[in-house]
Amino acid sequence: MFLGKYVIKSMKFHSLGKLGNKLLNSIIFSAILIIIVVILLTFSIRFALDANIKGQRILDTIDVSANQLFRSIIDQETGQRGYSLTNHEEFLEPYYLGQAEFSKSSANLLSNTKSFEKLQNKALEIIQLGEHWQSTYAEMFVEQGRNGENLNINLLDDAKHASDDFRTNFFEFSKSIDEERTIVRNTMKYRINMTLIILVATIIVIMLVNLLINFRILKELIKPIIKLSSCVQSYTEHDFTKEVPIYNKQDELADLIRNVGVMRTELSSNIHSLEAKVNFDGLTGLYNRRFFNDVFTNVWEESLETTEPLSFILLDIDYFKDYNDTYGHLKGDECLKRISKKLKEFNKEPNSYVARLGGEEFVVLLRNQNKQQTLQVVEEIRAAILALRIPHQTSLTNEYVTVSIGVSTITPTENLKPSDMYIMADQALYESKNNGRNQVTNYGKKKEYLTL
């Protein structure tokens, strides 16, 4: 609280005013409450984790004690059988060690299962079965072996059943340990989940209370501020169609709205003028090379993530230098404009982009089109330009202006660069020119040609 008051006093020097101080008080109070709740619930989660760790460690100890108990019976059984069969005294050593281990493990098992009533009952049952086998059969068989007496077949069968009962109950006990592990884990998960629910609910309540308090403070200001924010957001996206909100009071907000209105008018004029100069080719109105390179780089990165194919199409007007020499540069510019106007029909963002790279060279970028779909579009472009019927008497290909086209269609990978597509398309364009012009060549291991 002292820190909060210190912050408030410090902020007052920055002329927050009465409204600002009220808002700051509300925010700091809510933040302090949230911090306190988070600290308390963190301790609760820590407690749940500690309880789980403690329970799992106890169950580990129980598991170890149970296995030692089981091994002690196995050792006794092995020693007893060996002695009964051979009458060699060395077999009695594991027998007696097993007896001692059984007593020790029994005490440990009963001590460790005090926290788990269900396990303790089963542990007691296992111990009783082990003691029954020891006292009823194992000790008697050892004594008979010492006296040189033959073992009774029926007693051997009864001993085997007793041993099997012990084993069966041991394995069931092991399963019960795993069940208790699951219970301990689920208890921890439940406590943590409840803690998180309480945390979220508490934060929501604090935020709602804070919202109600702030709403009373901002009741007269919030609507014009939201509208103004929306307008500014639109202006940052170069959308200047939204009018600034109407606000009739005479205060700082009114000055802000008026200044934003002036900014909108000036920014709109400057942006449109700048975009026309920076992004578009001055002669044809198509995107220029600089802007296209930026678009191509962005589209390439998106295609790397979506694994969609890209098609890079290079167009070059056939014998355009001869056209300029024959008809003059003014007619040449007119020819470029007519072809560009037709190419604009294929600019369907964001699926396709058309740009002038310079001189008589143009480019079309297609997204998410396979090779056949791309070739169909490219042939439509070639035919559409020929259909303009722009006379070209010095062309060696046709009496009208034609274009040669090179195409590359690939799916971008990390091993490729955007410039690779340009190189492929440029090589395909060279093939189109080298094979008579007025045709489409698709780059590939085997060049594919589409001619008139």
Whether 366 and 310 have beta carbons less than 8 Å apart is answered as yes
Indicate the burial class of 113 (C-beta count within 10 angstroms; 0-12, 13-18, 19 or more).
Answer: buried
Name the CA dihedral angle for 325, 331, 336, 338, rounded to a multiple of 10 degrees.
-140
Instruction: State CA 68 to chain mean position distance.
Output: 48
Whether 86 and 145 have beta carbons less than 8 Å apart is answered as no
DSSP 8-state assignment for residue 113: G
Reduced to 3 states, what is the DSSP secondary structure of residue 14? Answer: coil
Reduced to 3 states, what is the DSSP secondary structure of residue 332? Answer: helix
Whether 316 and 361 have beta carbons less than 8 Å apart is answered as yes
Do β-strands 439-442 and 403-410 pair in parallel, antiparallel, or remain unpaired?
Answer: parallel
Catalytic-role residue among 93, 360, 361, 414: 360
- Which residue, chain included where needed, has tokens 């989660």? 45
Q: Give the end-to-end CA distance of the chain in Å, rounded to a whole number.
A: 84
Which neighbouring-strand residues pair with 391?
400
Round to whole Å and give the CA distance between 233 and 224: 14
Q: Could you tell me where the DSSP H helices lie in 345-437? A: 371-386, 418-434
Catalytic (active site) residue 360? yes
Sequence-distant (6+) residues with CB within 8 A of 291 are: 278, 279, 280, 355
Whether 368 and 308 have beta carbons less than 8 Å apart is answered as yes
Q: How many helices (H) and strands (E) does the chain have?
A: 13, 6
Token couple for 73: 């019976």
- What distances in angstroms separate CA 416 from CA 297, 363, 441, one per listed residue? 12, 20, 21
Whether 316 and 433 have beta carbons less than 8 Å apart is answered as yes
Write out the catalytic residue numbers.
360
